[in-house]
Amino acid sequence: MKRVVVVGASTGGLATAEALRRAGHEGPITLVGAEPAMPYDRPPLSKQVLTGQRGPNELALRSSAEIDALDLDLRLGVPAAGLDIGRREVLLEDGIRLDYDELVVATGVRARRLPGTGGIAGVHTLRTVSDALALKERLRPGRRLVVVGAGFVGAEVAAAANGLGVHVTLLESAPVPLAAAVGDATGRFLAAMHRDHGVGIRADVRVTEIVQDGGQVSGVRLEDGSVLPADDVLVAIGSVANTEWLADSGLAVQEGLVCDEYSAAGPGVYGVGDVARWHNPLFDVTMRIEHRTNAAEQGLAVARNLLCPETRRPFAPVPYFWSDQYDVKVQAYGYLRDHDEALVLDNTTSASGRLLVIYRKADRLVGVLAVGASPKVLRAWRALIAGSTAWTAVLNRTIAA
């Protein structure tokens, strides 16, 4: 009858609570969420919500009846403010203290902002449903949107806005968009796809100022002094882990909550989802993954380890993510960052939407990214990654095929 407190009411937190109940945990579970809304799906915010294909009432991760069946003590709209691991208490912003036997930290991340842009109308970030709805109201034919940051969120918004008739310019500080994460070839492929659809891309540029007129954004000034006119600006330059409330807890925080291979951060404390920086023994790398699939899988793993510590198992997944842009789906398995080599196996034109790239770290296959590939092909590559297949064996297999 352990008392479990889960701080964070998005995918990871909800998945943990559900897994605890399915495993037979009958003790109290408190689910704390900073937003007042019931747990909802975030990936559609940069795509279907902006285009009007899905409304805010169609984002719920579970129905009200399903949430009720979990018998949770819901504390929504009240952020966590502090943690005392000695007394095993979570302090909420409203002054309430929650006792726990086991704590799950699933507070996620927030969008990183450009300094000095607070209060300028027309400058947006995208993390919450309210963010998406505010941006959606501005995306009308003929308007000008400048997206600062050509990562996956920025690229997805650019595609959605372009489809609505908005004139879009994507800005990227690196020479090739997304190169640090997925390699030059993939970055060039995706950049060409956007250009083919009429999106302007400026790479290897740096923003020095958001220009305003009477408190309303009017443009973006670049390092060379030029100004790009804009009716709206989306800042998509990454995220910041929500760990400030852990500052005096004694837990290790380094761009996320530091956890071991079991997702444990300290006595009776576990990390789940975007906020957790844990050691993945499959890749022998400490990683923090900001994708929904990982959050759900980690929630299940933590619930199992929390209830059965004597048989706990490391959390060693093959991470997966996808991105919908225009009419193509980008999918990837593995850990693509810090790769030593990205080998292109199939690269047709961006207009036809086919790409297959595999990634090497040291002497093993660590990732695959595909556009237009069948699920069967991707599953086969995933199995090779999960099996820590040697790079030479992969090349021999590819040549034989």
Q: What is the pLDDT of residue 180?
A: 78
Q: What is the pLDDT of residue 32?
A: 98
Question: For strand 4-7 and strand 102-105, is the pairing parallel, antiparallel, or unpaired?
Answer: parallel
What are the angstrom distances between the C-alpha of 373 and each of 116, 174, 257, 354, 382?
Answer: 43, 28, 35, 7, 13
* Residue 170 identity (one-letter amino acid): L
Q: What is the pLDDT of residue 181?
A: 80
What are the angstrom distances between the C-alpha of 265 and each of 83, 89, 118, 253, 360?
Answer: 13, 15, 34, 9, 30
Q: What is the pLDDT of residues 169-188, one digit of tens each?
A: 999 999 998 887 888 999 99
- Over residues 332-341, the mean pLDDT reads 94
Give the span between the Cα atoms of 17 and 381, in whole angstroms.
Answer: 32
Radius of gyration of the chain (CA): 22
CB 297 within 8 A of CB 13: no
Residue 257 clears pLDDT 80, i.e. is over it: yes
Percent of the chain, pLDDT > 70?
98
Torsions phi, psi of 203, nearest 5? -105, 160
Residue 399 clears pLDDT 80, i.e. is over it: no
Q: What is the pLDDT of residues 100-120, one digit of tens each?
A: 999 999 999 999 999 999 889
Non-local CB neighbours of 176 within 8 Å, separated by 6+ positions: 184, 187, 188, 191, 203
Q: What is the pLDDT of residues 40-88, one digit of tens each?
A: 999 999 999 999 999 999 999 999 999 999 999 999 999 999 999 999 9
Residue 352 clears pLDDT 80, i.e. is over it: no
What are the angstrom distances between the C-alpha of 10 and each of 109, 152, 283?
Answer: 11, 20, 26
Residue 312 clears pLDDT 80, i.e. is over it: yes
Question: How many Cβ atoms are within 10 Å of 332's Cβ, its own excluded?
Answer: 24
Question: For strand 232-235 and strand 144-148, is the pairing parallel, antiparallel, or unpaired?
Answer: parallel
Domains along the sequence of the chain with CATH: 4-110+239-311 (3.50.50.60), 113-235 (3.50.50.60), 327-400 (3.30.390.30)
